[in-house]
Amino acid sequence: MSSYKTSVSTNKVAAAAAKTLDGRLLCASSLAYGIREPYLSGAGFLSPPLQITKGVNSCLIGRTRDGIVIAFRAGGFHRDALYNNNNKGLAREVRKALQEVLSTCDTKSKYKSTRRCKLYLTGHSKGGCLASLFALELLQSPDLPNPEYVCTFGAPRVGDAEFGSYYQEHVLQTAYENHLDMIPFFPPSSRDSPKMTSLMEDLQKDECQTSKSCSTTGHTTKTWEYAPIGTRKFISRQGEIVHHVSRQLDNQRIREIEGKTILRLGEFRQAHCSSCPDTSGGCSGGYFKAIAPEICASAYV
């Protein structure tokens, strides 16, 4: 499917920008799924952002009070969509749009040696993976700025330990993971328990059947020796942010997820969601409640 680019209207402004940079990037990551308040105002765009779509993947790019923000979204979360799709078309369109937005910045300085427009990348779920991969592409592009910061929410693993070591030497990234969100443990590795792998298979098969976007015939989840990247921050059951994620904490999280097998898969999706609406119409996703609670509060006004 060919790509297209549109400018999104920012006429409807109801709320103030989120109080923190991570909160504003979380709002931007939600906008990649669709433009709506209070997330539009929460992201703090200074002008209508550009929206780029390529197949099931898309991104939003524009100027905010912080600099240039690119928020990625990837359709579905079954394995094939993330690891086998060719995303070069989207990256090419994003590069073109980035050049356009950069033209509104100071044109007197060189990209790699200046503090001109800072560039921030973000994404929720597989959109976070695309943000991390695009950060590496920027590092290899002398005509484009390096990313100032990458912030992901509920993102799967994108590479092995060697990849992660190289990435962390060159990219500043924070990776948020919510209580009962199993997606940050995907794809499973040999370090994960068979029960956890089985839960991931069930979630993947259910997504395939719901979206009709992939086949489950003869499918089994492959183990990949992938590891987390970035500075990980965990959101507890109480909505508190834990700034050090140890192996012990990971094991505890896995045990809690395994103990919830009586829950319907929809409840695991709720844990993965960044801004799922609750019965009152406000945002109740665990990521917003912990990182930008003022945005959720404004949804009730």
- Give 180-236 pLDDT, tens digit per residue: 998 998 887 766 666 666 666 666 665 555 555 555 454 455 567 888 999 999 999
CA dihedral 154, 159, 164, 169 (to 10 degrees): -100
> Is a pLDDT exceeding 50 seen at residue 56?
yes
- Among 69-83, 120-134, 160-174, which stretch is predicted with the lowest mean pLDDT? 69-83
- At 32-53, the pLDDT tens digits run 988 888 899 999 999 889 998 8
pLDDT at 113: 42
The answer to whether 227 touches 155, Cβ cutoff 8 Å, is no
Q: β-strands 4-7, 50-54: how paired?
A: antiparallel
The answer to whether 125 touches 207, Cβ cutoff 8 Å, is no
Decide which of 143 and 43 is more confident: 43
Sign for the pseudo-dihedral over CA of 255, 260, 265, 271? negative
pLDDT at 88: 61
Give strand pairing partners of 69. 62, 120
pLDDT at 209: 57
Query: Vertex 19, ends 284 and 138: CA angle to 5°?
Result: 95
> Is a pLDDT exceeding 60 seen at residue 115?
no
Please tell me the distance from the alpha carbon of residue 34 to that of residue 45, in angstroms, as a whole number.
Answer: 15
Q: How confident is the model at residue 11 (pLDDT cuts 50, 70, 90)?
A: very low
Q: How confident is the model at residue 111 (pLDDT cuts 50, 70, 90)?
A: very low
Q: CB burial class (10 A; 0-12, 13-18, 19+) of residue 214? A: middle
CA neighbor of 24 nearest in space, from 64, 72, 51: 64
- Among 85-89, 243-247, 275-279, which stretch is predicted with the lowest mean pLDDT? 85-89
pTM here is 0.82
The answer to whether 77 touches 156, Cβ cutoff 8 Å, is yes
> Is a pLDDT exceeding 80 seen at residue 174?
yes
Please tell me the distance from the alpha carbon of residue 89 to that of residue 285, in angstroms, as a whole number.
Answer: 31
pLDDT at 13: 42
Taking residues 238-255, report their average pLDDT: 92
> Is a pLDDT exceeding 50 seen at residue 79?
no
- The token duo for 80 is 């094939």
What is the pLDDT of the chain when averaged over all its residues?
79
> Is a pLDDT exceeding 80 seen at residue 19?
yes
Q: How confident is the model at residue 139 (pLDDT cuts 50, 70, 90)?
A: very high
In percent, the amount of the chain with pLDDT more than 90 equals: 39
Taking residues 259-282, report their average pLDDT: 70
CATH code that applies to domain 4-103+114-298: 3.40.50
The answer to whether 167 touches 161, Cβ cutoff 8 Å, is no
Q: How confident is the model at residue 78 (pLDDT cuts 50, 70, 90)?
A: very low
Q: How confident is the model at residue 249 (pLDDT cuts 50, 70, 90)?
A: very high
Phi, psi (deg, nearest 5) at residue 176: -90, 140
